[in-house]
């Protein structure tokens, strides 16, 4: 069985290039689907041989071109959790025949084969024939933090990506066949950015901007330059900055936000600022997007069709099989399955079921943390800390969140390392982790308040942390 690489009309606008790209003859403006396919085919011809491509392209259009070209050439795209050099080297050791594919902006680890696709010539004739791809072809592997400390590989066959994109389009995009101008503040490499800013435009009527913007004024200018109707893809951190900047924003009819989670209050402010509707989307790298809600108006999540949740503590004797939960039941995790997923996936969230497709999210597991749409494991950070040379004891943990400002809560580290400096330890983390997960503060202490059995109860740890902080000021 084969499935198309995209489902757009050859003449439809699929992307908007705002930055001059040498590979495309520095052309700026909207790109038609037929031109996109032509460029992807030309790139596929010029890719090096290999089985795996580590796609680190910063430019969203070049990322999408490279992602599709790799699929056409039957190469699996590896989507690392971060750009750290140690991560690239680790992937290269695990996946024989891997190479790094970038557009000039990435720092590649020494000794790895790489190609800067922005130095190639991709301009040329459009192609109106959409390639078909084997449905079982392993299009991508998305890596997430595993609780074991090793990154977990989540397999994404083409069938999974196509079918989940069609489901996502139905649940998170506005109805109707208007073409939306899309701006995204999230990287294409993470599952949320991949699903919304790379895959959705291949299957729905979206024209996505190539740049990834951060500062509110840049976002304001880029949005203003786009034709209406507009759609914004973002996260709570970025949306909060836009609201607090006090800058007026042009109307954005639809805003998609990854859950972190987002407060009802901020959701209301975002809707007022953009005069549009905000849909918060619940998902994870293992499954992809699963549920959404209009956060300003509703607390309850709506599970997408095609997905089925089975709680861990459900009894198998409830008869009809497709109703594995009872209304009002609170479950500590469970499994999510769907016809398009290669296997069912474990969710560690606390969920209260309210009906067949409706639930309340009561919290994520203590181990997994999420910062700006990226997920990290506290356990993994602890292993990393204890593996640092010179560290005799130490702990990484999440302090109590500062709920009053919706500011980011960062992991904190208390470290016993008599021969090391703070800078040594920060450097050690920086080699392996995305910068947002580097503990802050990282404090050197003489010892940790461990109990006789070696345990470090949370209450004691927080009290100790507060005491150490007080001594600082």
Partner 1 sequence: MAEQTSAQLDVAELLVEALNLEDIAAADIDPQEPLFGTGLGLDSIDALEIALAISQKYGVQMQADDQNTRNAFANLATLTDFIHAHATK
Binding site for partner 1 (CB under 8 A): 213-218, 221, 237-238, 241, 244-247, 371-372, 407-408, 410, 422, 426-427, 430, 435-436, 438, 440-443, 469, 472-473
273 class by beta-carbon count within 10 Å (0-12 exposed, 13-18 middle, 19+ buried) = buried
Nearer to partner 1, 25 or 401 (CB): 401
Least distance to partner 1, CB of residue 473, Å = 8
Between 206 and 436, whose beta carbon lies closer to partner 1?
436
Q: Choose between 453 and 473: whose C-beta lies nearer to partner 1.
A: 473
Q: Which residues pair with 337 in a beta bridge?
A: 308
Instruction: Report the residue number, 130 or 416, with the smaller CB distance to partner 1.
Output: 416
Cα separation, 375 vs 160, in Å, equals 21
CB of residue 211 to partner 1, shortest distance in Å: 8
Shortest spacing between CB 364 and partner 1, in angstroms:
19
Nearer to partner 1 by C-beta: 166 or 430? 430
Cis omega before residue 362 (within 30°)? no
Q: C-beta of 218: minimal distance to partner 1 in Å?
A: 5
CA 275/CA 248 separation, integer angstroms: 11
Contacts of residue 291, defined as CB under 8 A and 6 or more positions apart, other chains included, come to 281, 282, 283, 301, 302, 303, 304, 359
Q: Provide the minimum distance between the beta carbon of 369 and partner 1 in the complex, in angstroms, as a whole number.
A: 13
Q: Based on CB atoms, which residue is closest to partner 1, 350 or 410?
A: 410
DSSP calls for 343-385? S-EEEEEEEEE-SSSEEEEEE--SSEEEETTEEEEHHHHHHHH
Instruction: Please enumerate in sequence order all residues whose Cβ is within 8 A of that of 378, keeping only pairs 6 or more positions apart, or say none.
Output: 366, 367, 368, 369, 396, 397, 398, 411
CA atoms of 286 and 375, how far apart (whole Å): 11
For the record, the structure tokens of 366 come out as: 């203590």
Q: Give the integer Cα–Cα distance in Å for 143 and 54.
A: 11
Our CB check for partner 1 shows the closer of 34 and 258 to be: 258
Least distance between partner 1 and beta carbon 430 (Å): 7
Least distance to partner 1 from the beta carbon of 426, Å? 5
């Amino acid at each position: 069985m084969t499935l198309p690489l995209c489902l757009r009309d050859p003449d439809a606008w699929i992307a908007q290039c705002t930055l001059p790209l040498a590979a495309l003859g520095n052309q700026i403006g909207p790109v038609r689907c037929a031109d996109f396919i032509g460029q992807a085919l030309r790139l596929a011809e010029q890719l090096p041989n290999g089985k795996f491509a580590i796609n680190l392209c910063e430019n969203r259009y070049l990322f999408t071109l490279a992602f599709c070209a790799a699929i056409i050439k039957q190469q699996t795209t590896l989507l690392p959790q971060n750009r750290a050099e140690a991560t690239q080297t680790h992937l290269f050791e695990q996946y024989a025949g891997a190479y790094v594919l970038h557009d000039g902006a990435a720092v590649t680890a020494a000794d790895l084969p790489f190609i800067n696709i922005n130095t190639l010539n991709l301009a040329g004739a459009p192609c109106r024939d959409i390639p078909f791809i084997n449905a079982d072809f392993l299009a991508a592997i998305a890596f997430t933090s595993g609780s074991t400390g090793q990154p977990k590989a989540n397999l994404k066959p083409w069938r999974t990506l196509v079918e989940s994109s069609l489901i996502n389009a139905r649940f998170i995009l506005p109805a109707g066949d208007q073409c939306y101008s899309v701006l995204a503040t999230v990287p294409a490499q993470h599952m949320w950015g991949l699903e919304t800013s790379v895959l959705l435009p291949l299957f729905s009527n979206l024209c996505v901007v190539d740049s990834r913007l951060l500062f509110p004024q840049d976002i304001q200018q880029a949005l203003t330059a786009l034709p209406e109707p507009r759609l914004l893809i973002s996260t709570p951190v970025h949306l909060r900055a836009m609201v607090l900047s006090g800058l007026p924003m042009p109307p954005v009819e639809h805003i998609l936000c990854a859950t972190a989670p987002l407060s009802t209050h901020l959701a209301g402010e975002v809707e007022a600022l953009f005069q549009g509707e905000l849909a918060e989307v619940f998902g994870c790298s293992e499954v992809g997007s699963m549920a959404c809600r209009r956060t300003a108006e509703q607390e309850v999540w709506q599970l997408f069709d095609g997905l089925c949740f089975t709680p861990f503590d459900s009894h198998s004797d409830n008869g009809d099989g497709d109703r594995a939960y009872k209304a009002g039941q609170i479950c500590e995790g469970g499994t999510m399955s769907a016809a398009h997923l290669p296997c069912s996936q474990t969710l560690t969230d606390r969920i209260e079921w309210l009906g067949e497709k409706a639930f309340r999210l009561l919290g994520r597991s203590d181990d997994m943390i999420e910062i700006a749409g990226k997920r990290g494991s506290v356990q993994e950070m602890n292993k990393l800390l204890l593996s640092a040379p010179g560290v005799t004891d130490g702990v990484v943990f999440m302090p109590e969140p500062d709920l009053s400002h919706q500011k980011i809560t960062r992991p904190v580290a208390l470290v016993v390392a008599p021969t090391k400096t703070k800078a040594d330890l920060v450097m050690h983390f920086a080699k392996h982790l995305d910068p947002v997960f580097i503990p802050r503060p990282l404090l050197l202490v003489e010892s940790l308040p461990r109990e006789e059995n070696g345990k470090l109860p949370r209450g004691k740890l927080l009290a100790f942390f507060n005491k150490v902080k007080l001594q600082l000021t």
